[in-house]
Structure 1
Amino acid sequence: MLDIPALGPTGPYRTRNRTTVPDAAGIPALELTSVPGLVVSHWIDQLRGSAPLPVTETAAVLAKAADVFEGHEILGDDLPAHERRVSELTGTPLAVVRECDGLITATLRDVGRMPFAARPTGCAPVGTAVPDTPSAGAVWRRAGDVLAVQAAGNSPGVHAMWPEALALGYRVVVRPSNRDPLTPLRLVTALREAGIPATQLVMAPCDHATADLLVERADRAVVYGGQDVVDRYRDRADVRTQGPGRSKLVVTADADRRAGLGLARAGALHHAGTACTATTGVLVEEDPAGFAAELAAALSTVAPARQVDDGALLPCMPEDTARRLVTAVLDRATDATVHLAPRVERLGGAGDEGSLATVTPAVVELASPRDPLLSYELPFPCVWVAPFRRAAVDVLDGSLVLSLHTGDPGLVAEASELTSVSNVYRGRPTSWTHPDVPHDGFLGEFLMRAKGLALADEKRSVT
Structure 2
Amino acid sequence: MSVLDIPALGPAGPYRTRKRTTVEDASGVPALELASVPALVVSHWIDQLRATAPLPAPRAAAVLGKAADVFEDQEILGDDLAAHQRRVAELTGTPVAVVRECDRLITAALRDAGRTVSSARPSGCLPVGTAVADAPSAGAVWCRVGDVFAVHAAGNSPGVHAMWPEALALGYRVVVRPSNRDPLTPLRLVAALRQAGLPAGQLVLAPCDHATARLIVDRADRAVVYGGQAVVDTYRNRGDVRPQGPGRSKLVVTADADRDTGLGLASAGALYHAGTACTATTGVLVEHDVTAFAEELATALATVAPAPPADDAARLPCMPQADAELLVAAVLDRAKDAVVHLAPRVERLGGDGSLSAVTPAVVELASAKDPLLSYEVPFPCVWVAPFERGALDVLDGSLVLALHSRDAELHARALDLPSVSNVYGSRPTSWLHPDVPHDGFLGEFLMRAKGLAHADEKRSDT
TM-score category of the 2 structures, normalised to the smaller one: over 0.9
Amino acid paired to 2:417: L
Q: Deviations over 1:240-267 (max 9, x none)?
A: 0110000000000000000000000000
1:25 to partner: Cα distance: 0.3
- Per the alignment, residue 129 of structure 1 pairs with 131
- Answering whether residue 207 of structure 2 is matched by residue 208 of structure 1, we say no
1:462 to partner: Cα distance: 1.2
- Per the alignment, residue 315 of structure 1 pairs with 317
Does the 8 A contact of 1:142 with 1:169 survive in 2?
Answer: yes
Does the 8 A contact of 1:269 with 1:313 survive in 2?
Answer: yes
TM-score by length of 1: 0.99
1:457 to partner: Cα distance: 2.5
1-side partners of 2:219 and 2:331: how far apart? 39
- Per the alignment, residue 374 of structure 1 pairs with 373
1:459 to partner: Cα distance: 4.6
2-side partners of 1:231 and 1:348: how far apart? 40
2-side partners of 1:115 and 1:458: how far apart? 35
Counterpart among 32, 52, 55 of residue 53 in structure 1: 55
1:398 to partner: Cα distance: 0.5
Does the 8 A contact of 1:114 with 1:442 survive in 2?
Answer: no
SS, match of residue 390 in structure 2: helix
- Per the alignment, residue 431 of structure 1 pairs with 430
- Answering whether residue 402 of structure 2 is matched by residue 403 of structure 1, we say yes
1-side partners of 2:130 and 2:58: how far apart? 10
Does the 8 A contact of 1:250 with 1:403 survive in 2?
Answer: yes
- Per the alignment, residue 66 of structure 1 pairs with 68
Identical counterparts, % of pairs: 79
Q: Deviations over 1:294-347 (max 9, x none)?
A: 000010000111111111110010001110111011100111000000011000
- Per the alignment, residue 76 of structure 1 pairs with 78
Q: Deviations over 1:95-125 (max 9, x none)?
A: 0000000110011011023221100001011
2-side partners of 1:161 and 1:113: how far apart? 14
Aligned length, in residue pairs: 460
- Per the alignment, residue 446 of structure 1 pairs with 445
1:32 to partner: Cα distance: 0.1
2-side partners of 1:118 and 1:84: how far apart? 35
Amino acid paired to 1:59: A
The within-5 A match list for 1:104-143 is 104-143=106-145
- Answering whether residue 326 of structure 2 is matched by residue 330 of structure 1, we say no
2-side partners of 1:455 and 1:229: how far apart? 45
2-side partners of 1:173 and 1:349: how far apart? 38
- Per the alignment, residue 272 of structure 1 pairs with 274
The within-5 A match list for 1:33-432 is 33-350=35-352, 355-432=354-431
Q: Deviations over 1:133-192 (max 9, x none)?
A: 111110000000000000000000000000000000000000000000000000000001
2-side partners of 1:116 and 1:255: how far apart? 37
Does the 8 A contact of 1:150 with 1:174 survive in 2?
Answer: yes
Does the 8 A contact of 1:48 with 1:171 survive in 2?
Answer: yes
1-side partners of 2:329 and 2:457: how far apart? 74
SS, match of residue 31 in structure 1: strand
SS, match of residue 3 in structure 1: strand
1-side partners of 2:458 and 2:183: how far apart? 58
1-side partners of 2:42 and 2:174: how far apart? 12
Does the 8 A contact of 1:252 with 1:405 survive in 2?
Answer: yes
Amino acid paired to 1:383: V
Amino acid paired to 1:107: A
- Per the alignment, residue 10 of structure 2 pairs with 8
Amino acid paired to 1:167: A
- For structure 1, the residue ranges without an aligned partner over 5 or more in a row are none
- For structure 2, the residue ranges without an aligned partner over 5 or more in a row are none
- Answering whether residue 456 of structure 2 is matched by residue 457 of structure 1, we say yes
2-side partners of 1:209 and 1:42: how far apart? 16
1-side partners of 2:61 and 2:35: how far apart? 31
1:349 to partner: Cα distance: 2.7
SS, match of residue 391 in structure 1: coil
1-side partners of 2:276 and 2:313: how far apart? 17
Amino acid paired to 2:435: D
SS, match of residue 356 in structure 2: strand
